Amino acid sequence: MFETSLLILFILLFLYISWRMLDWAIVLVVLFLPVYVIRFSLGPVPSTLLEIMLGAVIVMWGLRVVRERLRTKACPAIIPWRWMLLAWVGAGVIAVIISPDLRGALGLWKAYLVEPTLFFLVFVNVIKTKKQIQMVLWAIGASIVLIGFVAMLQYLGIVDIPGGYGLEVPARATSVFPFPTAVGKLLGPALGLFLGLFLVDRRWRQGSLWQTVREHTFVVGVLVFGLMALLFSVSRGALVGLLAATVFISFFSQWKKLIWAGLIVLVLGGLLVPQIRDNVTSVFDASDVSADVHRVMWKGAARIIKDHPIVGTGLASFPVVYADYKEASHTEFFPNPDQLILSLWIEMGLLGLLVFAWIMIRYFQVAIRALPIDRALAVGLMAAMVVLLVHGMVDTPYFKNDLAVQFWTLAGIVVVVSRLGQSKAEISSPQPKSLPTKKD
């Protein structure tokens, strides 16, 4: 009863904030992405706290648009990437229609496609100033610190690790999530963003290394807590993605040689430590259970695509159809193939895969145009997607409530930064002291 009352109070407070300060509501959504784990039902309809927050932001913005429309007789909304958004949601409609699980498909379509893209539209219409972007970046960083802090408490044994993951060797922290892979999926792109902010910031040219670190205390803290979370959760895919992002960032940093030297030392050091070396080589010699399961699952996924190459099998279909394509020796069932391209192709068909590629191309094009506006932030935004794409080779870092919203939040930042090209002031290096005003 107490938990229910607290939940209702939070929702009412968030509704008030959404009505009075919509930019603050957006920041809170970004900060509290993990609250999708708080699940409940609204009558017969299952929902999450994140979904309620998204709904409040979207509805309040819609009411403002309608009010302005009635007042000025003109539509005040900005709709960037409209054809891509329509194609993305439209591919989802087809995926719902052909799905063998209509109820599940509608839920995924709403949670992974409709709500995140609507949030993207709200974001690009409400977030307009540099201070507002700084606050969004601060929210992303604060969320990383919180997740990393809880993972550290679990690693130290102060907080229990749920689901038996603490009994694995090595133990795998889950932080605020029910399973450890959720940590790397959410934190990987965000850490790529902050690594870009840190390594490409022009203020590196001024003062000593220690002075630079002190000036970037918040960013350094985010990176430290985030890396701890990845290590304690043993998020190998996210770590490899972050390694690839570091290589990408080095080409835009004046410290390229130093970064490459550090990477070489890191790789050689890892190969010299037996536990790390065995953990890496086991992935390639099939002695790693997780890698072996993934390989078998990808073979089954490839057979599904071979039989359904154009439209796939629909959203929420993989757990249903995989039973007919899996190898008899394996009993594992998963919600998706744990590989981004395979998941997109099976769940949303060839059209969904092509539209996603279109979104990626457009994202990098806009980010490249933003380089003269804020080099560090533009590189960080591209590095975030490098992490996602590399991690996506061994996992599916999109098809989850928080991941879809994070993806479109990054896209929203790219669009907003590109609109600020006339200003010479930089946006990056977020600090808690950079607070937005109450007006939107």
Nearby residues of 227 by Cβ (< 8 Å), 6 or more positions away: 148, 191
- For 94, the token pair is 């087809």
| Region label for 312, one of left (φ > 0), alpha (ψ between -120 and 50) or beta (otherwise) | left
Position 272 pLDDT exceeds 50: yes
Task: Identify the CA nearest to 46 among candidates 115, 125, 107, 113.
Answer: 107
pLDDT of residue 392: 95
pLDDT-based confidence at residue 438 (cuts at 50, 70, 90): very low
> Which segment, 109-118, 257-266, 272-281, 370-379, is predicted with the most confidence on average?
109-118
Please tell me whether the peptide bond between 170 and the residue prior to it is cis, using omega within 30 degrees of 0.
Answer: yes
Residues 117-144: what's their mean pLDDT? 95
Query: Is the confidence at residue 433, as pLDDT, over 50?
Result: no
Banded model confidence at residue 324, pLDDT cuts 50, 70, 90 = confident
Confidence of residue 365 (pLDDT cuts 50, 70, 90): very high
Determine the Cα angle at 328 with ends 323 and 334, to 5°: 40
The per-residue pLDDT for 211 is 56
- What local confidence, expressed as pLDDT, does residue 209 receive? 52
27 or 2, greater pLDDT: 27
d(CA 211, CA 153): 30
> Rounded mean pLDDT of 56-60?
96
Dist. CA 221–CA 229, nearest whole Å: 12
Nearest to 317 by CA among 141, 105, 117: 105
Is the pLDDT at 13 greater than 60? The verdict is yes
Share of the chain above pLDDT 90, in %: 63
pLDDT at 439 over 70: no
CA 440 – CA 429 distance, rounded (Å): 22
217-260 pLDDT, tens per residue?
889 999 999 999 999 999 989 999 999 999 999 999 888 888 88
Once rounded to an integer, what is the mean pLDDT over residues 381-391? 97
pLDDT value at residue 434: 40
Residues 101 and 323 sit within 8 Å (Cβ to Cβ):
no
Lowest mean pLDDT among 15-24, 161-170, 206-215: 206-215
Q: In this predicted structure, which of 153-157, 196-200, 295-299 has the lowest mean pLDDT?
A: 295-299
Question: Do 30 and 402 meet the contact criterion of CB atoms below 8 Å apart?
Answer: no
Provide the token pair at 433.
Answer: 């002291």
Judged against a pLDDT cut of 80, whether residue 101 lies above it is answered with yes
As a whole number, the mean pLDDT across the chain is 87
What's the CA gap between 182 and 174, in Å, rounded? 7
Cα 63–Cα 77–Cα 89 angle in degrees, nearest 5? 90
Residue, of 44 and 182, whose pLDDT is higher? 182
